[in-house]
Amino acid sequence: MKDTMNIVGKRVVRSDSLAKVTGRARYTADLKMPNMLVAKVLRSPHPHAKILGIDLSGALKTPGVKAAVSGFDGFGIKWGVFRYTQDHAMLPTDKVRYIGEDVAAVAAVDEETALEALSRIRVDYDPLPAVFDPLEAMREGAPIIHEQYKNNINIHVHIDVGEMDRAMESAFLVREDTFKAAGEAYAMMEPYAVVASYENGFLDLWMPNAGPHVRAKALSNLLKIPLNRVRVRHINSGGAFGGRSEVAPGDLVASLLSIKAERPVKLVLSREENATSSRQVHDIIATIKTGMSKDGAIVAKDFRVVYDGGAYSSTGPIATSIPFYVYEECYRFSNVRYNGYRVITNKGIRGMYGCHGRAFLAGNEAQMDMMAKELGMDPVEIRLKNGLTSGEMTATKSRITSCGLKETIEVTAAKTDFQKRWPKTPKLEGIGMGCIAIMCGFPMGFRSGSSCYLKINDDGYVTLVTGVVDNGQGNESMVIQAASEILGVPMEDINLVNADTEITNLDPGAYSQAAAFVSTNAVKIACEKARKQIVAIAAEKLGVAETDIALKNRLVYSVEKPEKKMPISWVAREAFARADPIAATGTFFPNIDLEREWLSRPWGQMAGTFSYATSVAEVAIDPETGKITIPRFTAAHDCGRAINPMAVEGQIEGSVQQAGVAAITEGNLWDGCHLLNPDLLDYKVPLACDMPEIEAIIVESDDPVGPFGAKEGGIAIRMNAYSAVGCAVTHATGVLFKELPLTPDKVFEMLEKGTEVEG
């Protein structure tokens, strides 16, 4: 197949590149509409307090204020991803549960007026005891934040497969360790913004989001407006990383204000608001107990993981489960017990992340290295020994249909000379390997599938309509490239209409790694149907067999007699003349078990396929400062088939920054309920000068179901880059790391402990 591809598999410039580098791409904060108002939000000064009353009258009397709202202006409907997690009113009327929570809002003619109006809102609070540590929150007698959650345990994911206790008792080598990781900020360059415009019963919205259909459905429910009157429209997104996944309080605030004022309303959060009042990443405490046989096979795993979920459920069941699932999709173990607890605290809400679970994943990998050393093995051997292969089943009964894990391990080991360097490296230098898998789509009910519609206009140009969303990954360009390949027209001839809920059909969105495997498959199917229509007409007009027809460079031609040809535009006009225009719909639904549920039934086919990756980090530690540098990073990704290798390499490089280098810099700092680093001055996002030399390697396993063999490309590296760095630092110090990020103070603690295992 590869030899016959004209554009798939080629390094092409992304379709959105020019607009973004020239500044012509519009983002939500760029939008300007006639009579648009500026919104500002009044936020809670308390981590936990009853709301005794809210008086908006002072704000409404302020000249230039056109609307003011609180939770009493809504319908009292609480949001949650699942029915059993519906606990978030977006604008509370009973009590506030974290500092920075949205309480009331105003819309005014300008920002200065809006801020003045906020100062005139009166909220009467009755402060309550608060709790900020998840372990303390779980104890008997701790302040209860939501009455329905006993001991503040929001979610308990329990998975028990095989005979874990018996297998652990019979294991040759057993080790138990606890690892911690601070929560992180998504730190997108674009602070959250939303524009709402309500007119004649219809609500139009623009905001950076990972799933417009999910967002529209949530707002339809919250506002009691029919779904076909809530339209989330296409807009560019200045970063996501998991933080744009679900409906935000600001969406409801802007919508209510626009409905009240009957004018467009724009809400733009400040950088500090973005950190304190939008979703952030879970803090994690992971206790990992592993039993191995004498030959290094994993015979038992026992996990207890506590996640600080902040004040509300958000993506609770998913966030509590994903770290375990991506690990079980990578390694073979038939006896396992996982207890994951998501605990409510009086901190801001925590959500999904593109590299979620770093203490759990990095802890597993570093512990494996230590156990390998005790058994006389090296990290490469033990990963090859335990890594899953195509055709095998995961512990919770997902079948692996394509798997390039072995190849990614072998190529990174060879490129870095890993096995020769592992036994003897210079003092305070280390090399570490991390492996992981990632599901390509996961059960989201009827939203697990995608649909695409296309038409070929009478000039031969193509209009492609799909719900696919692009948060910077290159999803828009990817589906255009796929359509270009099948229809034989240049990418510039294809107009993409996407991420608009009133025009497009359901799609999973840029969520659950589904864009390549699910959304592009739907596009491919639609294009193949349209191609058959073109071929049928062209074969008839050219007097050749349909099997002799090819499409390329806007032409339909005979393979056997290339002189027989015609422009695709002629075929399109002929189709119109026959009152049967060329148009097609494609739908793809992955092979997943729709009865699988995060809590009640955590088994069955999780996804249609899984991608695999291996990262190798090389580190050096300054003995005077404890500072870690990462001079080189090698990453290999089994993405099935790279539709655009340049885009996949870009995702790999971005993942090394977001998770690999971030492992030594990024973490939220708290003093009780107060976030101490809510801006990009004190929150240490890696800069260009911090980046290592990166070698990005694409491994292709040609998935049997993926479009052109493709599956997810990028996040698998993001999920294991932390692990590679954690393992490298453990190797350099001889001491098992215990907490992320690996800042100089933590490294000094490791060095003071001395060598745990003879190096």
pLDDT in tens, 210-226: 999 999 999 999 999 99
Domain end among 528, 560, 588:
588
Are both 741 and 631 inside the same structural domain?
yes
State the Cα–Cα distance between residues 390 and 404, nearest whole angstrom. 8
How far is residue 506 CA from its own chain's centroid? 18
Q: Tell whether the torsion through CA atoms of 665, 668, 672 and 675 is positive or negative.
A: positive
Q: What is the CATH number of the domain that holds 581?
A: 3.30.365.10
The whole-number pLDDT of residue 3 equals: 57
Q: In the structure encoding, which two tokens stand for residue 564, read together? A: 């027989």
How far is residue 402 CA from its own chain's centroid? 22
Are both 252 and 394 inside the same structural domain?
no
Are both 462 and 396 inside the same structural domain?
no
Please check the confidence at residue 394 and state whether its pLDDT lies above 70: yes
Are both 209 and 64 inside the same structural domain?
yes
Q: What is the mean pLDDT of residues 83-95?
A: 96
Asked, for residue 136, whether it belongs to a domain, the answer is: no
pLDDT (tens digit per residue) in 242-270: 888 889 999 999 999 999 999 999 999 99
Asked, for residue 289, whether it belongs to a domain, the answer is: no
Q: What's the structural domain count of the chain? A: 3
Are both 570 and 479 inside the same structural domain?
yes
Close Cβ partners of 366 (under 8 Å, ≥ 6 residues apart): 179, 432, 723, 726, 727, 730, 736, 737
How much of the chain, in percent, has pLDDT values that exceed 90?
Answer: 91
The whole-number pLDDT of residue 442 equals: 83
State the Cα–Cα distance between residues 658 and 636, nearest whole angstrom. 16
Please check the confidence at residue 63 and state whether its pLDDT lies above 90: yes
Asked, for residue 392, whether it belongs to a domain, the answer is: yes
Please check the confidence at residue 632 and state whether its pLDDT lies above 70: yes
Q: What value does the CA radius of gyration of the chain take, rounded to a whole number of Å? A: 27
Is residue 353 within 8 A of residue 281, CB to CB? The reply is yes
Q: What is the mean pLDDT of residues 528-550?
A: 97
Asked, for residue 40, whether it belongs to a domain, the answer is: yes
Of the candidates 671, 704, 748, 486, the residue with the CA atom closest to the CA atom of residue 591: 704
Taking the CA atoms of residue 661, residue 664, residue 668 and residue 672 in that order, the dihedral angle to the nearest 10 degrees is 170
Asked, for residue 162, whether it belongs to a domain, the answer is: no
Are both 576 and 640 inside the same structural domain?
no
Mean pLDDT taken over the chain: 95
DSSP 177: E
Distances (CA, A) of 429 to 43, 301, 426, 435, 545: 47, 30, 6, 21, 65
State the Cα–Cα distance between residues 62 and 51, nearest whole angstrom. 23
Q: What is the CATH number of the domain that holds 232?
A: 3.90.1170.50
Domain end among 558, 588, 618:
588
Are both 549 and 696 inside the same structural domain?
no
Please check the confidence at residue 753 and state whether its pLDDT lies above 80: no
Please check the confidence at residue 756 and state whether its pLDDT lies above 70: no
Q: With bands split at pLDDT 50, 70 and 90, how would you rate the model's confidence at 573?
A: very high
Are both 612 and 714 inside the same structural domain?
yes
Domain hosting 548: range is 2-24+449-588
The whole-number pLDDT of residue 240 equals: 84
Are both 66 and 211 inside the same structural domain?
yes
Q: With bands split at pLDDT 50, 70 and 90, how would you rate the model's confidence at 475?
A: very high
Asked, for residue 154, whether it belongs to a domain, the answer is: no
Q: With bands split at pLDDT 50, 70 and 90, how would you rate the model's confidence at 707?
A: very high
Are both 95 and 109 inside the same structural domain?
yes
The whole-number pLDDT of residue 757 equals: 38
Are both 487 and 536 inside the same structural domain?
yes
State the Cα–Cα distance between residues 9 and 567, nearest whole angstrom. 25
What single letter denotes the amino acid at residue 593?
A: D
Domain end among 588, 622, 653:
588
Please check the confidence at residue 426 and state whether its pLDDT lies above 90: yes
Are both 420 and 491 inside the same structural domain?
no
State the Cα–Cα distance between residues 49 and 146, nearest whole angstrom. 12
Across the chain, which distance is largest between two alpha carbons, in Å?
85
Asked, for residue 333, whether it belongs to a domain, the answer is: no
Please check the confidence at residue 2 and state whether its pLDDT lies above 70: no
The whole-number pLDDT of residue 758 equals: 36
Please check the confidence at residue 1 and state whether its pLDDT lies above 50: no
pLDDT (tens digit per residue) in 310-362: 999 998 999 999 999 999 999 999 999 999 999 999 999 999 888 889 999 99
The whole-number pLDDT of residue 4 equals: 80
Asked, for residue 78, whether it belongs to a domain, the answer is: yes
Please check the confidence at residue 164 and state whether its pLDDT lies above 50: yes
DSSP 236: B
Residue 544 main-chain phi, psi, to 5 deg: -130, 170
